[in-house]
């Protein structure tokens, strides 16, 4: 059962992202309930408690909000819809394409899209390596998808000239950073430490630029 304290805290934190914090917050709670109910069938997450999901999935996904550029966003390996769905809900005027190679997860996301009435997301059952798309994206985001060199190599051709690739990571990814530099010395990137409220685990975002 969700505690009032966590719920109130969650709604307060959402004010940093949307004025409609109760409307959006209730949709996000419903989203977490869908994840919980569908978890056994679709293998979506190891986190079972709704309170934990609100912190470890929803607020964590929103933590990269300030780095998002433009109006066309691609979420690679979206899985349960993270970080794409939370970001799409707080940005109804931006367009999100959620991509995953697992068709079961796309079926789940379609269920969420219809039942929550999320009009600004499209879904695609595809591997980014096989993605053939003429339209470039302003931001490409991913959470727990792959190593930084793989993310960069698979994403860069789908990025607008002034766009960004935002890869969410846990602890500072020293080895992946070294591998990224070895891949291409001219890659421009920065690593930002992210503070997720009530989350003690380290979180970082690696922001890569096309220059």
Q: What is the pLDDT of residue 4?
A: 58
Q: Angle CA(201)–CA(206)–CA(211) in degrees, nearest 5? A: 175
Q: In whole angstroms, what is the distance from residue 192 CA to residue 52 CA?
A: 23
Among 175, 192, 186, 183, which residue's Cα sits nearest to residue 209?
A: 186
All structural domains of the chain, each given as residue ranges with its CATH number in brackets, are 62-209 (3.40.50.150)
Contact 48, 84 (CB under 8 A): no
Q: In whole angstroms, what is the distance from residue 99 CA to residue 152 CA?
A: 16
Distance of CA 163 to the CA centre of its chain: 16
Q: In whole angstroms, what is the distance from residue 78 CA to residue 63 CA?
A: 16
Q: What is the pLDDT of residue 133?
A: 83
- List the chain pLDDT tens, one digit each, 211 residues: 444 589 999 999 999 999 999 999 999 999 999 999 999 999 999 999 999 999 999 999 999 999 999 999 999 999 999 999 999 999 999 999 999 999 999 999 999 999 999 999 999 999 999 998 888 999 999 997 899 999 999 999 999 999 999 999 999 999 999 999 999 878 899 999 999 999 999 999 999 997 6
**Residues 173/174/177/181 CA torsion (nearest 10 deg):** -170
Q: How many CB atoms lie within 10 A of CB 190?
A: 11
Q: What is the pLDDT of residue 3?
A: 46
- Classify 114 as helix, strand or coil: helix
Among 151, 95, 83, which residue's Cα sits nearest to residue 120?
A: 95
Alpha helices in the chain (DSSP H): 4-14, 21-42, 50-53, 60-62, 84-90, 103-116, 148-155, 174-183
Q: Which residue has the tokens 């997720």?
A: 196
pTM of the prediction?
Answer: 0.95
């Amino acid at each position: 059962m969700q505690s009032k304290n966590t719920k109130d805290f969650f709604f307060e934190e959402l004010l940093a992202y949307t004025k409609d914090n109760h409307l959006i917050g209730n949709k996000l709670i419903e989203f977490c309930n869908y994840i919980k109910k569908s978890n056994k069938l679709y293998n979506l997450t190891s986190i079972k408690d709704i309170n934990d999901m609100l912190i470890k999935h929803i607020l964590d996904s929103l933590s990269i909000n300030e780095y998002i550029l433009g109006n066309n966003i691609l979420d690679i390996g979206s899985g349960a819809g993270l970080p794409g769905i939370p970001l799409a809900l707080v940005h109804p005027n931006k367009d999100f394409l959620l991509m995953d190679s697992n068709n079961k997860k796309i079926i789940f996301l379609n269920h969420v899209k219809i039942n929550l009435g999320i009009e600004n997301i499209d879904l695609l059952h595809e591997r980014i390596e096989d993605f053939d798309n003429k339209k470039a994206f302003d931001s490409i985001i991913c959470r727990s998808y792959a190593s930084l060199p793989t993310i960069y190599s698979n994403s860069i051709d789908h990025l607008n000239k002034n766009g960004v690739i935002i890869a969410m990571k846990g602890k500072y990814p020293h080895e992946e950073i070294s591998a990224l530099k070895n891949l291409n010395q001219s890659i421009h990137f920065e690593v930002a430490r992210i503070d997720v409220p009530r989350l003690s685990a380290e979180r970082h975002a690696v922001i890569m630029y096309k220059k």
